[in-house]
Amino acid sequence: MRPRALSALALGLVLLVTGCGEAGKSPEKAAAPPSASPSPSPTPVTKPSPTHTTPAKPKLRPVPKKLPAGLHRASGSNGVALTFDDGPDPRYTPQILAQLRAARVKATFCVVGKQAKRYPELVARIVREGHQLCNHSWHHDVNLGRRSAAEIRSDLERTNEAIHAAAPKAPITWFRQPGGRWTAEEVAIAKQMGLRPLHWSVDPQDWDHPPAKTIIKRVKGATRHGSVVLMHDAGGDRAQTMAACRHLIPDLKRRFGIALPR
């Protein structure tokens, strides 16, 4: 684990570039270098016989070094937007819903299609209790933005369908790329589908299982009016996030107000 002091210094930077643990700690590392031809010498014009070739893996487009334009990274109001990713999860989503209800505030749930299909009653409850939905891909594909337009579109559609099977006609306002590994192509496709691309401005890295007091310190240190806070109600042991939220939700409500992003 990193020393606290360094951690605090690095936080500002880290907050903007990470998120969703499955992406790994250095999401950029996975970006493939521009592929060089394996044989630089002139090759014969004849195509190899198809019977002897294995189908080439579709090439993934690189993740840009800078986040693409058009992402929503602020709540759009003075209030702070709370976002909960990777669920729904029967252990934690009901706890967060109960906390939000007690505080009389609304949040955005970035749900994974497979989870929505498995726990439709939780998706329905999220909607029934007045919260907002965000598509977070079918199976939390951190490389989704790097795939073909058709693959991106069908993943988002499949996820929307699972959500609508659980909560027919519920508006799906947002899309959030797992790990925040956006590409411009993906942002464009999401927008064409009526899904607004939602990033974040505060990431306490709760997916890495820091103690609740660290999650609280990170969120309180970085949150301002209009922040979008990223946390997780699924994807692993979220007991520390649940504990942190018992303090954070009333605290952020009192200091900034809690609002849905818009």
Question: Active-site residue numbers?
Answer: 85, 232
Between residues 22 and 251, which has the closer beta carbon with respect to Zn ion? 22
For the chain, where are the alpha helices, taking DSSP H only? 4-17, 93-103, 113-118, 120-128, 149-166, 184-192, 212-222, 239-255
Assess 85 for contact with Zn ion (CB under 5 A).
Answer: yes
Please name the amino acid found at residue 38: P
Q: Please count the residues of this chain forming the interface with Zn ion, following the rule CB under 5 A.
A: 4
Q: Rounded to a whole number, what is the distance in angstroms from the first to the last CA of the chain?
A: 36
**Closest separation in Å from C-beta 226 to Zn ion:** 22
Q: How far apart are CA 243 and CA 199, in angstroms?
A: 24
Between residues 143 and 256, which has the closer beta carbon with respect to Zn ion? 143
Q: Which one of the spans 48-56, 77-85, 118-126, 245-253 is the region binding Zn ion (CB under 5 A)?
A: 77-85
* Binding test (CB under 5 A) with Zn ion, winner from 86, 141, 206, 233: 86
Between residues 177 and 227, which has the closer beta carbon with respect to Zn ion? 177
Q: How far apart are CA 222 and CA 237, in angstroms?
A: 24
Question: 3-class SS at 16?
Answer: helix
Assess 233 for contact with Zn ion (CB under 5 A).
Answer: no
Q: Which of residues 150-179 bind Zn ion (CB under 5 A)?
A: 178
Which residues of the chain form contacts with Zn ion (CB under 5 A)? 20, 85-86, 178
